[in-house]
Amino acid sequence: MRSERHVMKMKDLKFGPQLIATLLVLCFCYTYAVAEVKKQTKETFIIQMDKSNMPATYYDHFQWYDSSLKSVSESADMLYTYNNIIHGFSTQLTPEEAELLEKQSGILSVLPEMIYKLHTTHTPEFLGLGKSDAVLLPASASLSEVIVGVLDTGVWPEIKSFEDTGLGPIPSTWKGSCEVGKNFNSSSCNRKLIGAQYFSKGYEAAFGPIDETMESKSPRDDDGHGTHTATTAAGSAVSGASLFGYASGIARGMATEARVAAYKVCWLGGCFSSDILAAMEKAVADGVNVMSMSIGGGLSDYTRDTVAIGAFRAAAQGILVSCSAGNGGPSPGSLSNVAPWITTVGAGTLDRDFPAFVSLGDGKKYSGISLYSGKPLSDSLVPLVYAGNVSNSTSGSLCMIGTLIPAQVAGKIVICDRGGNSRVQKGLVVKDSGGLGMILANTELYGEELVADAHLLPTAAVGIRTANAIKNYAFLDPKPMGTIASGGTKLGVEPSPVVAAFSSRGPNLVTPEVLKPDLIAPGVNILAGWTGGAGPTGLTNDKRHVEFNIISGTSMSCPHVSGLAALIKAAHQDWSPAAIKSALMTTAYATYKNGENLLDVATGQPSTPFDYGAGHVNPVAALDPGLVYDATVDDYISFFCALNYSASDIKQITTKDFICDSSKKYSLGDLNYPSFSVPLQTASGKEGGAGVKSTVKYTRTLTNVGAPATYKVSMTSQTTSVKMLVEPESLSFAKEYEKKSYTVTFTATSMPSGTNSFAHLEWSDGKHVVRSPIAFSWT
């Protein structure tokens, strides 16, 4: 605080001409200096070059890249050069320099760096892979030739899930390496974990050099997310696995004998697109067959989406790219990774639960969920309080750090509302304030969704109905009491699966004519390998070390599908990524055995294709789908023409020179996709109005991947507002890989009561059912 002798009053100042001039100069200089600082602030950009149009004056592309860069910034250096996924480089430039560079001949695009974020074993049995009658599973020799590349936070190589016992030599197709770095050497890799590399130049350009006291500048996983996703996809079988005794049994990945290649692209500050693109480039060159990416960012046009561009180039070279749909549910239109050449995976539940029980002083008992494993509370009841009533903050009900009053919390169970900070941190706040236990209460936003956590004190997470009942008791009883007890692991939970509330939902806001997500897979309370560098909660205060952890997110569902894609690749080595995706989608199920639709845990009501896409993955059926919807680069080029992309746009994504035929009518509905999304326009715009009519026609082509057979079509619909006509109604295939096309005409005759409705189309030969969801939306 300044003393009064340092404060001058305005009336005491003498403003002569010379002083005023001096002040003006100083003001101008300061303003100019600030402007210069702003002007010189550099950001990372990814520059895509038109490789085929390199001027003849350059003897190689690197020289061309360097010359182009130095023409706008003498001091700039290239972070990465790209040669497989795209042709170009990444660098740091001011916005003005980037704008100048983009105007140069031979530059296809200058894209700003994007920061992506992570979308954070009983499972094989739940999926039918543990059954002795799964005779269609590929032989181990062919599966061991498949390589799954995982782009994530790295790996912890010492855990048993990466043991290589029984595996043969590393596939001859592998061209990658085991990169040496902090706490990671060449011996960290083996015949299971055949490669591991890290990519940090984009991250360090933004944040400065990596603080190696906080994270390893190497492929080593200090976070746990990457180890979990890699072992979910292709971890070796490990007996006696569990988290503190929960979910005990054999932990194994979906493709236990496939090889794993880890690419560390995510750091404490996030996952940077220049690093991701460099890793995708390396994975393609290394020879991976499947690329698994449990990360996502904002939505943008495909020409501005570096992950979508990289995934297209990977798919064009025969690599299936599987990505998480995001954890933005249940909000509509919350998806990420929506490009049609990406397999976009949402999350569902297993038939396994980890119950925790709350007993109250009025004799009532309620059920929740928890993975707490420490000293239990006694059977005796203890005082119960609502956090909002023992807090010094207006947001005290959330149990944020520093908001609870210890004197009013000590020796009690505290009811904390979910949201605002992490679920496990709330418990730590209660514990640090002297609380004995926590009831984690869902609010309206979370509904009945329950996610298990390895809490640091006795805890029960409860759905909103139970939460409201417990709160009412705590508010009305003059001396509320309660206790919490663990219920261990419960199997056979019904109904299952249900769509997870957090799983991101359609419609696809980039291209409404492409239905997303593609399908769902297990993503709630998944047991898989974990890092030795962090406790199961990820909190710095959590000093517990575990080899396996149970976590949830579409980050967990994505590697399930990546591993299952590896199984299909091993069984059908000549299938394209589109064919593999089609097999997974058309054999997925959207109903329970009783015929009822899969439920949405967010609402308790039946879910829709905007929630689950084609349905829940069914891997055994996917190994023998009968027919597939295949797609080539040319199919996607026609799709780009339907989007009215310019020749430059098309080249930016495909590297091909192509000009759309102005005399040809391109349709987004003709992309050979395994599902249908049909936006319809109404003439009157009135609900149920007379004379409403909109007709669109979609064309599809099926490829026979089974024995000769005749397939007949059938349709079911939830709406009478749209008539569907399929021509022809039967398709006869005389040989394998024969192709047959059909058209579906959709005619809207009236407006439904809502804005969306749904249907299904099936082709069946009596043995196979090739099923496609249909989503109608009215505009």
Q: What pLDDT digit, counting tens, does each position of 90-136 carry?
A: 999 999 999 999 999 999 999 999 999 888 644 455 555 554 334 44
Q: What is the mean pLDDT of residues 248-268?
A: 95
Mean pLDDT of the chain: 90
Q: What is the mean pLDDT of residues 438-462?
A: 94
pLDDT of residue 760: 97
Please determine, for residue 57, whether its predicted confidence score (pLDDT) is greater than 50.
Answer: yes
460 neighbors 474 (Cβ within 8 angstroms): no
pLDDT of residue 447: 87
pLDDT band at 297 (very low <50, low <70, confident <90, very high): confident
What is the C-alpha to C-alpha distance for residues 674 and 345, in angstroms, rounded to an integer? 15
Torsion of CA 109, 113, 117, 121, to 10 degrees: 60
What is the C-alpha to C-alpha distance for residues 181 and 222, in angstroms, rounded to an integer? 13
DSSP state of 215: S
pLDDT in tens, 648-680: 999 999 999 999 999 999 999 999 999 999 998
pLDDT in tens, 205-232: 999 999 999 999 999 999 999 999 999 9
Catalytic entry in 188, 373, 504, 555: 555
Dihedral of CA 349/427/421/466: which sign? Answer: positive
Residue with tokens 């080595």: 573
pLDDT of residue 125: 55
186 neighbors 299 (Cβ within 8 angstroms): no
pLDDT band at 84 (very low <50, low <70, confident <90, very high): confident
Going by DSSP bridges, is the β-strand pair 694-704/739-748 parallel, antiparallel, or unpaired?
antiparallel
Known catalytic residue: 152?
yes
Please determine, for residue 733, whether its predicted confidence score (pLDDT) is greater than 80.
Answer: yes
pLDDT in tens, 368-379: 999 999 999 988
| Total Cβ atoms within 10 A of residue 529 | 29
pLDDT band at 681 (very low <50, low <70, confident <90, very high): confident
pLDDT of residue 23: 37
pLDDT band at 560 (very low <50, low <70, confident <90, very high): very high
What is the C-alpha to C-alpha distance for residues 435 and 412, in angstroms, rounded to an integer? 5
Cβ neighbours of residue 31 under 8 Å, at least 6 residues apart? none
Cβ neighbours of residue 328 under 8 Å, at least 6 residues apart? 334, 335, 336, 502, 504, 505
pLDDT of residue 88: 94
Strands across the sheet containing 320-324: 193-198, 259-264, 147-152, 290-293, 320-324, 343-348, 519-522
pLDDT of residue 112: 94
Known catalytic residue: 555?
yes
pLDDT of residue 694: 83
Q: What is the mean pLDDT of residues 249-263?
A: 95
pLDDT of residue 51: 87
Q: What is the mean pLDDT of residues 462-474?
A: 97
Please determine, for residue 341, whether its predicted confidence score (pLDDT) is greater than 60.
Answer: yes
pLDDT in tens, 484-537: 999 999 999 999 999 999 999 999 999 999 999 999 999 999 999 999 999 999
What is the C-alpha to C-alpha distance for residues 370 and 489, in angstroms, rounded to an integer? 10
| Chain mean position to CA 29 | 49
pLDDT of residue 599: 96
pLDDT band at 18 (very low <50, low <70, confident <90, very high): very low
| Total Cβ atoms within 10 A of residue 647 | 13
pLDDT of residue 693: 62
What is the percent of the chain with per-residue pLDDT over 90, rounded to a whole number? 82
Known catalytic residue: 292?
no
pLDDT in tens, 143-156: 789 999 999 999 99
Catalytic entry in 50, 152, 275, 286: 152
Please determine, for residue 34, whether its predicted confidence score (pLDDT) is greater than 70.
Answer: no
For 199-282, list the strands marked E by DSSP.
238-243, 246-251, 259-264, 266-267, 270-272
What is the C-alpha to C-alpha distance for residues 689 and 141, in angstroms, rounded to an integer? 62
Catalytic entry in 225, 455, 560, 760: 225
What is the C-alpha to C-alpha distance for residues 699 and 679, in angstroms, rounded to an integer? 15
For 61-121, list the strands marked E by DSSP.
78-82, 88-93, 107-112, 115-118
DSSP state of 171: P
pLDDT of residue 354: 95
Please determine, for residue 12, whether its predicted confidence score (pLDDT) is greater than 50.
Answer: no
